[in-house]
Structure 1
Amino acid sequence: MKVMFDAAQKRHYPGFFLTSGARAPNPETPARADILHDAARAAGLTPEVPPDLGLAPAAAIHTPEYLSFLKGIFARWQRIEGASEEVIPNIHPDRRGSAYPLSAVGQAGYHMADTSCPIGTETYAAALRSAHAAAHAAHRVMEGESAAYALCRPPGHHAFKDLAGGFCYLNNSAIAAQVLRANTPRVAILDIDVHHGNGTQGVFYDRADVLTVSLHADPARFYPFFWGHDDERGEGPGLGYNFNLPLARKTGDEGFLAALDRALSRIAAFCPGALVIALGLDAYEGDPFAGLSVSTPGFRRIGEQIGQLGLPTVLVQEGGYVCDGLGGNLIAFLDGFGATHRVASGAG
């Protein structure tokens, strides 16, 4: 298996975010990428730098209005007298209808869901290269690889078509799924991040060609709060094509694996031609966000269960933050996934 990553993705280095109203160092740091890249290589993956795929993969998911905002907002922000070093919204509209503000401050509020996704001088370029990693991994799978790992940093599953949030700017998992759609009529996305993949759900909520399934800490008391509940099933043509499995705080291996069984049964019923795994490692018992309590051996078992599907698979990195177990958790997942996926897919 290959790991897709470009060192340019590390140039995005957000300074801070607000947590419970307090200013704190932003945990989505370049160090995450170094740890995960080293772990992927230790697991036997071959590094590959994705080519520059331009704007097309992102434009297949995100609105041109939003992409224009991401590209230009930092330069515009710097022209505001007394503005912060990074773009940080200070207004969040309670509705986003037909009115679209002309000011940079207004547009920041319109296109940024929270304060955890500051935009700096390198953010747009790094997010675009992260999207290229996901798209290139999908192309590799379409070309015959049984699986590929996109080390996407910054992550993406909280990004909607026109809204950043939760450290995310471009929705890498959605971009990978859309690329795969060129090769198969149905694609499933399985999100195992501790946080609900609200952006991914939003992108495909009214579509029947992409099934979205998410296991995550119950949002009743956990980010993203307003999405991820079990009654969210899709709408219009997408009704029945979204499946949320919220878990009680501190759920450990057995509870997570039981929910994963339900998720995999739903995916099997959809009969997809390819699978995208939104690979959050922050369900770990030692992760700074402390939402769930999956162990390192638990990640191996999660990988084993998913691998048994035997589907052409793109692994897209989402969360998982700097802690002692981060690299080991990726190695455990990849080892478990590889052991069963090779057999189930007939790859060796």
Structure 2
Amino acid sequence: MKTIFSPDQLLHAPTKEISDGKLVPANEIPSRAEIVLEHIKKAQFGEVLAPNDFSLDPILKVHDADYVTFLLDFWQLWLAEGRTEEEVFPFVWPVHGLRHDIVPDQIDGKLGFYSFDAGTPMGAHTWTAARKSAETALTGADLLLSGDNSAFALCRPPGHHAHRRLYGGYCFLNNAAIAAQHLRDQGVGKVTIFDVDYHHGNGTQAIFYDRADVQFLSIHADPKVEFPYYLGHANERGLKEGAGYNHNYPLPHGTSWVEWAEAMEDACRSIEKFAPDVIIVSLGMDPYEKDPISKFKLKTDDFSRIGARIARLSKPTLFVMEGGYAVGDLGINCTKALSGYLDTVTIGS
């Protein structure tokens, strides 16, 4: 299994975030990717490749052009208004009853218009890192198109919370969605995105909610009590042509492997029924019992079981890194998931 990663993904390096109404140390930091990469190299799964360069076209197939332009121009707009802060947060949003059809000219208005939370700081190098993260996922998709059975896109910043026109949840470009659309555009018939992150992949769901060619499944903490709060309920099943192709498994705080595995089995049955040509796994390590922003109870060895079950689906599989903030154990847990997959594929073959 080849791994794709670029050092440019480390350039987005926030030190603070807003959480629970407080300014606290950032969780989504460069060392997350660095420690995973260190463990990947030790595990010797295969080559570590730099991502290929892509035009903006694959990103614009998923994200609206005005939003991409905002991300690209953001830092220059910030500096042009005489701002000196190196980490930038929105503070006002077009919520219920306010207008959503006019983009403000002023930078604070733009920040709120294109975001859904205050916990995702932006800086001078956010666009560079986010674009390279998307290109990492795209390169992984191209490896599958060229015949590889699996690949690991070590994406950072993560992507599954990003909507077509919104950033938040540490996410700016939806890496898994961009890879899925790229696969479709290159002739792949059906794609499944299986999100195992602790938090619901609200952006991915929204992007494909009315489509039948990309199935979305997510096992996550119940949005009634957990971020992102406003999507991820079990009755969200898709719209129009997408009706029946969206599957959410909201689980309570304190969920352990037994309950989590039951949801995974149901999800895998739905995947088998859908019979995709390719599976993309939004690989979040934050269901882990020691994760600082999770209230699930999965243990290190459980990630091996997740990888093994995905392998038994017997489809070309792209793993796309999402969350996971217990930095000390993150590399171990990630390699456990990938080795569980690879060991089962080897046994099965």
* 2:31/2:327 contact within 8 Å kept: no
* 1:42/1:331 contact within 8 Å kept: no
User: Structure 1 runs of 4+ off > 3 angstroms?
Assistant: 81-84
**Structure 2 runs not aligned, ≥5 long:** none
SS at match of 1:260: helix
Report what 1:85 is aligned to: 86
Equivalent-residue separation in structure 2 for 1:295 and 1:180 (angstroms): 33
Report what 2:167 is aligned to: 164
* 2:281/2:319 contact within 8 Å kept: yes
What TM-score, normalized by structure 1, do the two folds share?
0.96
Shift of 1:82: 5.1
Report what 1:257 is aligned to: 261
Report what 1:224 is aligned to: 228
* 1:31/1:322 contact within 8 Å kept: no
What's the % identity of the aligned pairs?
A: 40
SS at match of 2:237: coil
Equivalent-residue separation in structure 2 for 1:66 and 1:37 (angstroms): 30
Greater Cα shift, 236-245 or 52-61: 52-61
Report what 2:123 is aligned to: 120
1:190-209 per-residue CA deviation (whole Å, 9 max, x = no partner) reads: 00000000000011011111
Work out which of the residue numbers 147, 155, 161 in structure 2 matches 1:144. 147
Amino acid at match of 2:169: G
Report what 1:51 is aligned to: 52
* 1:43/1:334 contact within 8 Å kept: no
Amino acid at match of 1:26: A
Equivalent-residue separation in structure 2 for 1:183 and 1:149 (angstroms): 21
Shift of 1:26: 1.1
* 1:216/1:245 contact within 8 Å kept: yes
Equivalent-residue separation in structure 1 for 2:329 and 2:188 (angstroms): 36
1:266-304 per-residue CA deviation (whole Å, 9 max, x = no partner) reads: 111111100000000000001111321110111111111
Equivalent-residue separation in structure 1 for 2:42 and 2:248 (angstroms): 33
1:1-348 alignment runs, 5 A limit = 1-45=1-45, 46-81=47-82, 84-95=85-96, 97-181=100-184, 182-344=186-348, 346=349
Amino acid at match of 1:47: V
SS at match of 1:314: strand
**Structure 1 runs not aligned, ≥5 long:** none
Equivalent-residue separation in structure 1 for 2:296 and 2:152 (angstroms): 24
* 1:252/1:292 contact within 8 Å kept: yes
Amino acid at match of 2:85: S
Greater Cα shift, 275-284 or 323-332: 323-332
SS at match of 1:65: helix
Equivalent-residue separation in structure 1 for 2:267 and 2:10 (angstroms): 33
1:1-29 per-residue CA deviation (whole Å, 9 max, x = no partner) reads: 11100011001111311111000011110
Amino acid at match of 1:208: A
* 1:310/1:343 contact within 8 Å kept: no
